[in-house]
Amino acid sequence: MEKISNFQLFCMLSLLTLPVAILEQPHRLLHIAYHNAWLTFIPVIFSGALLILMYSHIIKKSSQPFPLLLDEHLGKFLGRILGSVYIFIFFLISGFTLRVFIEYMKMNVLPLTPISVIIGVILLAGFVAIKTGLESIARSCEILALMIMFFAFFIIMISLTNNFHFERILPLAYLDYKTFGKGVCMATFILGKMMPVLCLAFFLPKKETARTIMNKVLFTYVPLLTLTTFAVIVTLGSIPSLNFVFPTVNMIRLARIGNFIQNLDIVFVAIWIMGIYGAVTIPWFMACFTMQKVFNLQDYRFLAAPSSVIIGILSIIISQNNLEVLIWSLHIIPYLVSIFFILIPFIIFIISLFKAVPDIPAPEPANSPDPWYKPATPG
């Protein structure tokens, strides 16, 4: 039976939320709250805590991991249909994350490199991890997560100290309630990407510890994203930042140590690539695992190869140019994540309020047959 440790789950959830958020969230929030965008992350401590409470309650009231908990709370017929939809959603999230990475590399690092090469490298790493199982994914995330967070904080602080212009955040807190509320919602939705915890928590030694782990991710996300957005505003300015697709990268390009160590953005690139590996692979694993349970398959590992083609094609056809990727990022992905990773779990949460806690939790290993699987009889 596959098992992951508490620290490995923390690393996996951190890679689901932080690498892409550092790149995209400042840009999203700048379009809403401008120079006060950094303030919208502070109330996320409370809204994120409510989201975590919802996920932890669903885990507590469920005896089986996602997607089988859909059958448990919604009935087998509706649960299997909804589970089938989630397969596509996980593929879409994985493909979009890969496409964001492609656009970044194409615009800032390797403009003349064919995108097929970039896609192939990331998908090869994800394929090997999924083929070897959940424990392999967890161990690789364990190695990457802390290193990514440390270097991200280090580079952002260097950029901030070299180009600090306090007047760019003035007037302070000058925004109406509607704008502030919209900004808080936009800053909170990214935490919905922790929704795979409804599955991963059942691979812990004690699933009840998932709430504490999610709280640690929350108290990592809020300070880091507040600092990143604040640094973008005081170094570049809110209005100039609107003209950049990835203002975080433009801010990091200003980082230097003394007069002799410059162009530190290449360090950010190298580290961010590793973070994207986790952000692509974990939803990919969730799609394969969900497919196994929904269709009563013996294992999910053999799905790694054919599903890699699906993700690769999705990352290409999802948009034709940078502008369409930006539209997806600002107007489609936030609603998609909010509906499938927050709203639908909230409905399950309401249903679970009227159910008793299961007496005997029954976690399932990912490589064991489904309890409803019945081999075909000869003849």
Other Cβ atoms closer than 10 A to 351: 14
Q: What is the pLDDT of residue 310?
A: 92
CA dist 181 and 32 (Å) reads 10
Helix 115-132 / helix 134-162 crossing angle, nearest 10 deg = 130
Considering the four listed CATH numbers 3.40.50.720, 3.30.1330.40, 1.10.4160.10, 3.40.1190.20, the one that applies to the domain covering 6-352 is 1.10.4160.10
- Asked if 96 and 20 count as a contact pair (C-beta separation under 8 A), the reply is no
Strand partners, 261: 257
Confidence (pLDDT) at 220: 93
251-267 in b/e form (b: 16+ CB < 10 A) is bbbbbeeeeeeeebbee
Mean pLDDT, each 10-residue run in order, the chain (379 residues): 87 90 87 88 94 95 92 92 95 91 77 79 89 89 84 83 81 82 91 94 92 94 92 87 82 73 70 82 94 92 91 88 83 92 95 79 46 45
Global pTM reads 0.88
At residue 7's C-alpha, the angle toward residues 6 and 10, to 5°, is: 90
In terms of phi and psi (left: phi > 0; alpha: psi -120 to 50; beta: otherwise), the region of 105 is alpha
Centre a 10 Å sphere on the Cβ of residue 240 and count the other Cβ atoms it contains: 13
Beta carbons within 8 Å of 206's beta carbon, 6+ residues apart: none
Longest CA–CA separation in the chain, Å = 79
**How many Å apart are CA 29 and CA 53, to the nearest integer?**
25
pLDDT at site 270 = 73
SS3 182: helix
